[in-house]
Amino acid sequence: MNQDEYLEKRLDDQIKWYSAKSAVYQKKHKYWQVIKIISALLITTLTLWLVEGVELMKFVIGILGAFIVFIESFVNIFNYKELWVGYRNTSEKLKREKLFFQTKAKSYQIQEPFELLVQRCEAIMQNENQDWGELIDKKEN
């Protein structure tokens, strides 16, 4: 694979993939956080209206409390925040390496700068894959 192919087909594709996945997980994380906040606000509001003898209101408040626990567990299982931040971090590291390479920053002022770019970018992606695997292992234990 030559330099142009690597930049276009490997590096740019990976940057796009990590950026897109980061955006997806950011949206999911924020969506569930908003739902959790709304549920907590409803519990507080409904508690103010709680009148003695109104069993339905107690039932609704209990369901909302259980729903908050469900959301917190759901978000924790799927690691939306960790994935969002990890993918964004990886994308930004790859962009930075590409910029350093293209501008011939000091570390890339060597005889084989393309080789260094490939080594660094592949190491970044490998580290992200290892971090992801560790995150999965941690959740399963």
pLDDT of residue 137: 65
Cα–Cα distance, 78 to 46 (Å, whole number): 30
Please write the tens of the pLDDT for every residue from 107-125.
999 999 999 999 999 999 9
**How buried is residue 121: exposed, middle or buried, by Cβ count under 10 Å (0-12/13-18/19+)?**
buried
CB atoms within 10 A of CB 94: 21
Whole-model pTM?
A: 0.80
Average pLDDT over residues 28-32: 95
Consecutive H or E run containing 106: none
